[in-house]
A = this chain, B = another copy of it.
């Protein structure tokens, strides 16, 4: 069976950990966990995943080296909406753009971006003051990806929770805002990696009643 190697950027994050675990459980996929600190490596090595120690504030060259020899890059790093605003621009925007440029440099054509639920211009304007910088950062990161020739998929999750995954979602270009377990986002990423028709698509995902594999195929 053909092995697809996936660089997970933000592997030590809450979605990232679920994602590496799930990738390692898929016969045709294998993960390379990109982490900031060698001390985080043990958990990923225990799963049989490769590890690349790179800080997202390093340069494109360092990230490109981590991407070399992989077949897909997933960007699921995030300062989150509640970190310092300097990290919002340096990680959520600049870190994402550097990862995109690194994928190009390393000739990795497939790119999956974990975005925010609504990153439209209108959403920036409508966001509460403290949240707007995060929405703006994700907006510009998405725009950068859209301007490339990469085989992108942009996933816009609803409000993330640590509830157990149900393996069922509601998924479409536009859905009603709702919660979604991080575990089901990880499953949606895996399904997207295994579903070539998701290339060039962007969609919102919240909890729902459709099996993730079917929901992703229908997009």
Contact = CB atoms under 8 A, between A and B. Distances in A.
Question: Assembly of this chain: how many copies?
Answer: 2
A51 to B, nearest CB: 24
Main secondary structure of the interface of A (DSSP, over half): helix
Given A140-B140, A147-B147, A89 B121 contact: no
A125 interface: yes
A85 interface: yes
Given A88-B85, A133-B86, A93 B140 contact: yes
Interface residues of A, number: 22
A94 B125 CA distance: 10
Contact of A90 (B94, B121, B132): B132
A89 B90 contact: no
B140 A90 contact: no
A64 interface: no
